[in-house]
Structure 1
Amino acid sequence: MAASLRVLINGGGIGGLALATALARRGHTVEVAEIRAEPSALGVGIIQPSNALHVMRELGVLDRCLAAGFPWEFLTIADPAGNTLARIPQPRMDDVPPSNGIPRPALAAILADAAVTAGARVRYASTVSALEDDGAGVTVTLSDGTTARWDLVVGFDGIGSPLRGHLYGDRYAPAYTGFANWRVTVPRDPGVQGVVMATAGQEAKALLTPITDELMYLGAVFAEAEDFRPDPERAHEELAKRLAVFSGPVAEALAAVTDPAAVVYSRISQVTVDEPWHVGRVVLAGDAAHASTPHLAQGAAMAVEDALVLAESLDTAPSVPAALEAWEARRRPRAMWVQAMSHAVLKQEMGAPTTAEEDALLEIGIPGAAHVLAKPY
C-alpha cells in the first residue's frame, strides 16, 4: 500500500515494539498502548536464535543486541556432573550469528529506543478498553479515556491478551500444560561459552545460558500442580532440592543463589487460536495468538518474525484486509509447527505419553529444529 496507515499496537513487549519500529520506519503513524506504567521487562534473560537476530538486523538493532548480550555458536550437552557429552554447532541464517543471550531488560530498552527513534509513540499505563470496527476503520477507546480512529489494531498483548478477549471471549484462555519454569540469574561461569544443557534423563534437566560477559541464568522445568507457588522465603531452597542430582556448574550456580526473591517462577501455558487471527481490521500476533512452551527458545523469535512479516505484508498488499490474509497465510504454519514441536519436546523430557504425530516431530530433535527455523520465514 502506498498510503501511510494509522496503526495502534496493544502491548509494548518485544513483538509490539518490533512492529512499531518496522512500521514507523516505513512512514506509518504508530502508537503503542502499554499497560505498564513505565518501561520495564519481566523475567531474567532470553535467547535470540539466528532467525530472531535476522529480524534485529532488519530493524537496525542487531549490533546493539550483540553488544548488550553474549553471542554464542555451540549448544553443549553435559551429564549431571557437567562433563561434556556433545558440542553441537548452531545454524545461522544468512550472515547473522547463530545465537545471542541477552537480559530481557536490555532487549526491552533497545527496542523501545528503536521504536521511539523511528517515530512511534509509546503510551504507558493504557490498554484497549473498547473498540468498534466498521469495516473502514476501528474506533478505539483506551483505558485512560482517550478515543481515536485507526486503520489497523494489532494485539501484541501477550498470553493473557485482553484484545483476544474482545474478539473471542473466553474461548481461547491459556491452557496450563502441567509444567512450570524456574529461572534465576547468577554470575557467569567462565566455562559457559554458550547454552549448556545438563541432563539427568527424565529426572531433571538444567540449562545454563550466558546473557552478558558477567551473567548467565539457570533454568529448569518441572511438573508442578496448577495451584503450586514456591514459598517466597524458600524458593531458592526448593529449586536446589529439585536439582539435587546435579553437581559441577549447576550446583555451583545454585550455591550462588542466596536471595529467594531472585528466583523467577512461571507456569507454562499454551494458547492456540484456531479461528483466524484477524477479524476485520483487528489482528492478534505473538503469544496472543500462538503461545508455545519454551523448549525451542522460539517464543520471542516467533513474535518478532510476526512483526516483520506483518510490516512486509502491508508493504505489498492492496488493502489492510488483504495484508492480514497474506500475513496469516505465511505465519500460521510456522508458528503452529513451533508450538507442536515445543510441546512434543516437553512431553518427551517429562516422560509423558506422546502421539504418533509428536513422535514424528521428535525424530527431528532440537538440533534439527534449529536448522528448520534458520530457513527463511
Structure 2
Amino acid sequence: MPETLPQPSAGGTPSVLVIGGGASGNAVTVLLRRAGLAVDLIEARPDWNAGTGSGITLQGNALRVLREIGVWEQVEASGYTFDSLGVTAPDGTVLFVGDVIKTGGEDLPATLGMQRPRLQQILSDAVRASGAGVRLGTTAETLEQDADGVSVRFSDGTSGRYDLVIAADGLNSATRAAIGITERPEPTGMAIWRMPAPRPEGVTRSDLAYGGPAFIAGYTPTSENTIYAYVVERGRDRASVRPESYADEMRRLADQYGGAWPEITQHITDPDKVNYTWFQRLLVEGSWHRGRVVLVGDAAHCCPPTLAQGAALSLEDASVLAELLTGDREWDDDLLQAYYERRVTRVRTVVEASLQIGQWQLDDVRDADVPGLINRTMDLLKELP
C-alpha cells in the first residue's frame, strides 16, 4: 500500500512549506495560494535574488506557465519577444535565419528575452500579492517527518509544522541531500561567460556564432534597450579564473567576433557585471520525493542552456505539481510518484538533447544534425506537460 501523507482535518487547510524563492518556488507558491492552500516560502538570500543574473531566454512553454500564474502581461511588457533565430559566421556574416517552434502555442511568442532580475521581481511581487508567508535570509536547518507531517526547524531558531515541503532550492539543493537523495550535479566540460549590455540597434533576435575562439558567441535582446551577451568555451579550472579578470577574459574572446560584437565588446569593462559559470548536468531518477518532501526545478534536474529550456522545465514542474496537489486526489505516495512519472520522460529528453549538443561541440563533430535534434525536441515540448 502507498504511504498516505497527512491530510488536513475536516474543513482544514493544507499547509505547505516552499524552500527556495527562484522561478519554480515562486511559481508553485502562487499557484497553491490561488487554490486556497496555506503556503510559507523561505529563501536563503536576504535580497530574494533581486540582483542575480544578466539575462534569461524563455521559450513559449515557459511563457505558457507565466500566463497561468497571471504575470504574462508584465513579462511581455518588460522583455523582448521574437520568433526567429540567426546563425552567423565568426566574422558576423549571417548564414541562416529560421523560425523558432512555438512551444507555448500559436498565441504566444516563440521566444522572449528579459533581464533576469526583472523576472525575479515580477514573480516575487506575485508571491507577496498571493498572501503567502515570506521569510528571507532563512533556511531549513532540520526536517523531521512522522506519521502526521513534517516538523521544520529554521535557521533563525523558530520552527513550523507542514503537511508537505517543496524543495525548490536549486542545483546544489541542501534539501535534496537532507532527504537522502544522493545524485549531485556534475560538470559537462563547458563553461559560459555572460553579461548585460546596451542593445545595438540592429539586434532584434538571438544570433549565435559557431566557431572562432569559442564554441558559441551569442546574444539575446532582453528589452528595447538591453541585451545579454554570452560566450561558451571549454571549462577551465576555477582556480585559473580570477573574478577581477572576468571582464578581460570575456572581452579577449568576444574581440574576435564580428557583426554586432564590436559594439557589444566595448561595454565588457566591469568584472562585477560578468558571470562565469560551468555547465552542469543533473537528473534525479526513480522519484523526486521522499515521504512528504518533494523536489521541483533545478533541485531535481539541470542541463546546459543549449536549448534554453532550464527555466521552462522548472516552471512546468511547478505547474504540474500544483495541478496534482489541488485536484481531488489524496496527497499520498502515489500522487507524488505520478508527478515524477508525468515529468521525467519530458525532462530526460531535454536534458539528453542539451547534453548531446554540447558533447558534439566538445568532440568537434562537424556533421552533427543539431537542427534536427532541436526541432524534434521542440516539437515534443509543444504538447502540454
TM-score normalised to the size of structure 2? 0.91
User: Aligned residue for 1:181?
Assistant: 192
User: Could you say what secondary structure the match of 1:248 adopts?
Assistant: coil
Relative to 1, partners in 2 of residues 1:145 and 1:353: Cα closer, same or farther, differing over 3 Å?
A: farther
Which stretch of the first structure deviates more once superposed, 141-150 or 364-373?
Answer: 364-373
User: Aligned residue for 1:43?
Assistant: 53
Is 1:25 aligned to residue 28 of structure 2?
A: no
Structure 1 position 317, deviation (Å): 4.8
State the one-letter code of the partner of 1:101: G
RMSD: 2.1
TM alignment of 1:94-113, pairs within 5 A: 94=105, 95-113=107-125
Structure 1 position 110, deviation (Å): 0.5
Identity %: 34
**Distance between the aligned counterparts of 1:363 and 1:74, measured in 2?**
13
TM alignment of 1:359-370, pairs within 5 A: 362=370, 364-370=372-378
User: Could you say what secondary structure the match of 1:233 adopts?
Assistant: helix
TM alignment of 1:334-345, pairs within 5 A: 334-345=346-357
**Distance between the aligned counterparts of 2:108 and 2:115, measured in 1?**
19
Q: Is the 8 A contact 2:214 2:231 kept in 1?
A: no
Relative to 1, partners in 2 of residues 1:42 and 1:91: Cα closer, same or farther, differing over 3 Å?
A: same
Q: Is the 8 A contact 1:270 1:291 kept in 2?
A: yes
State the one-letter code of the partner of 1:29: A
Deviation sequence 1:74-118 (CA, Å, 0-9, x none): 111111122221111122222121111111111011011111212
Relative to 1, partners in 2 of residues 1:172 and 1:6: Cα closer, same or farther, differing over 3 Å?
A: same
Which stretch of the first structure deviates more once superposed, 315-324 or 38-47?
Answer: 315-324
Is 1:373 aligned to residue 381 of structure 2?
A: yes
User: Aligned residue for 1:348?
Assistant: 360
Which stretch of the first structure deviates more once superposed, 122-131 or 80-89?
Answer: 80-89
TM alignment of 1:320-331, pairs within 5 A: 320-321=331-332, 322-331=334-343
Structure 1 position 252, deviation (Å): 2.3
User: Could you say what secondary structure the match of 1:295 adopts?
Assistant: helix
**Distance between the aligned counterparts of 2:126 and 2:325, measured in 1?**
20
User: Could you say what secondary structure the match of 1:256 adopts?
Assistant: coil
Residue 150 of structure 1, aligned match among 152, 162, 166: 162
User: Aligned residue for 1:161?
Assistant: 173
Is 1:235 aligned to residue 246 of structure 2?
A: yes
Gaps of 5+ in 1: none
Which stretch of the first structure deviates more once superposed, 93-102 or 243-252?
Answer: 243-252
Residue 62 of structure 1, aligned match among 22, 47, 72: 72
State the one-letter code of the partner of 1:34: E
Q: Is the 8 A contact 2:19 2:165 kept in 1?
A: yes
State the one-letter code of the partner of 1:25: R
Q: Is the 8 A contact 1:48 1:100 kept in 2?
A: yes
Which stretch of the first structure deviates more once superposed, 132-141 or 364-373?
Answer: 364-373
Deviation sequence 1:282-320 (CA, Å, 0-9, x none): 101111111111111111111110001001011225222
Relative to 1, partners in 2 of residues 1:199 and 1:375: Cα closer, same or farther, differing over 3 Å?
A: same
**Distance between the aligned counterparts of 1:261 and 1:255, measured in 2?**
15
User: Aligned residue for 1:11?
Assistant: 20
**Distance between the aligned counterparts of 1:55 and 1:109, measured in 2?**
17
**Distance between the aligned counterparts of 2:294 and 2:80, measured in 1?**
34
Q: How many residues align?
A: 371
Structure 1 position 353, deviation (Å): 7.7
User: Aligned residue for 1:266?
Assistant: 277
Structure 1 position 228, deviation (Å): 3.8
User: Aligned residue for 1:319?
Assistant: 330
Q: Is the 8 A contact 1:159 1:291 kept in 2?
A: yes
Q: Is the 8 A contact 2:140 2:152 kept in 1?
A: yes
**Distance between the aligned counterparts of 1:224 and 1:345, measured in 2?**
16
Structure 1 position 136, deviation (Å): 2.8
Q: Is the 8 A contact 1:302 1:335 kept in 2?
A: yes
Structure 1 position 201, deviation (Å): 6.8
Is 1:224 aligned to residue 232 of structure 2?
A: no
Relative to 1, partners in 2 of residues 1:366 and 1:202: Cα closer, same or farther, differing over 3 Å?
A: farther
User: Aligned residue for 1:257?
Assistant: 268
User: Aligned residue for 2:135?
Assistant: 123
Gaps of 5+ in 2: 1-6
User: Could you say what secondary structure the match of 1:140 adopts?
Assistant: strand
**Distance between the aligned counterparts of 1:201 and 1:342, measured in 2?**
21
**Distance between the aligned counterparts of 1:366 and 1:308, measured in 2?**
24
Structure 1 position 181, deviation (Å): 1.1
Which stretch of the first structure deviates more once superposed, 62-71 or 198-207?
Answer: 198-207
Deviation sequence 1:43-93 (CA, Å, 0-9, x none): 111011000000011111001001111111111111112222111112222
TM-score normalised to the size of structure 1? 0.93
User: Aligned residue for 1:196?
Assistant: 207
